[in-house]
């Protein structure tokens, strides 16, 4: 887990997050470092983020905000094509949002009292483990 500045937008952290991805393969081989798709809300609908994902051949599931749509339409033919995304896949983004909201129930994570990023990261990992274990108990 990467930790960025507390009050800054987390968009600039996206290249670092994508660089830290390592999904182990079931069989032999090196870990996958490229996700199939990135699901994000409208706040991540910038040219830079879309360009980064396109350069890494990652499917972008990010809707375009109304103000960007209006700006594109005002420019006419020079505005470019409207963005396309899988609306059904975007509907499943709420699973990620609910996970973040579950972690924010921990007051220390929500308010970020810790001064050192390593301590904050440890608290986030602990909260994630306990949330996962709590969920495992419900399923059995």
21 in the same domain as 63: yes
56 in the same domain as 7: yes
* DSSP secondary structure letter of residue 92: T
Output phi, psi for 32, to 5 deg.
Answer: -70, 140
66 in the same domain as 105: no
Average pLDDT score over residue span 111-135: 81
Say yes or no to pLDDT of 115 above 80.
no
64 in the same domain as 4: yes
77 in the same domain as 110: no
56 in the same domain as 119: no
**Which of 138 and 97 is assigned the larger pLDDT?**
97
The per-residue pLDDT for 37 is: 87
Say yes or no to pLDDT of 64 above 50.
yes
98 in the same domain as 75: no
118 in the same domain as 71: no
Say yes or no to pLDDT of 56 above 50.
yes
98 in the same domain as 83: no
Mean pLDDT of the chain: 80
Which domain does 33 fall in, by range?
A: 1-87
Asked which of 65, 87, 109 is the last residue of a domain, the reply is 87
CA–CA separation, 75 and 37 (whole Å): 29
CA–CA separation, 42 and 68 (whole Å): 10
Output phi, psi for 110, to 5 deg.
Answer: -70, -35
Asked which of 68, 87, 106 is the last residue of a domain, the reply is 87
CA–CA separation, 125 and 118 (whole Å): 10
The per-residue pLDDT for 18 is: 85
82 in the same domain as 29: yes
Q: What is the pLDDT of residues 8-40, one digit of tens each?
A: 667 777 888 888 888 888 888 888 888 888 888
CA–CA separation, 77 and 138 (whole Å): 54
Count the domains in the chain: 2
97 in the same domain as 40: no
Least confident of 70-74, 77-81, 125-129: 77-81
Q: What token pair was written down for 114? A: 């810790």
Which residues does 79 contact at the CB level (< 8 Å), separation at least 6?
Answer: 71, 72, 73
Average pLDDT score over residue span 61-65: 87
3-state secondary structure of 60: strand
């Amino acid at each position: 887990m990467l930790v960025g500045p507390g009050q800054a937008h987390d968009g600039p952290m996206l290249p670092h997050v994508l660089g830290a991805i390592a999904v182990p393969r079931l069989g032999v081989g090196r870990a996958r470092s490229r996700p199939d798709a990135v699901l994000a809300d409208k706040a991540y609908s910038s040219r830079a983020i879309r360009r980064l994902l396109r350069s890494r051949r990652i499917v972008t599931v990010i809707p375009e905000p109304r103000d960007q749509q209006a700006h594109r339409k005002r420019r006419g033919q020079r505005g470019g094509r409207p963005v396309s995304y899988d609306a059904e896949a975007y509907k499943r983004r709420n699973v990620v949002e609910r996970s973040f909201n579950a972690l924010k129930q921990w007051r220390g994570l929500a308010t970020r009292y810790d001064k050192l990023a390593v301590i904050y990261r440890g608290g986030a990992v602990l909260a994630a483990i306990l949330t996962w274990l709590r969920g495992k108990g419900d399923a059995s």
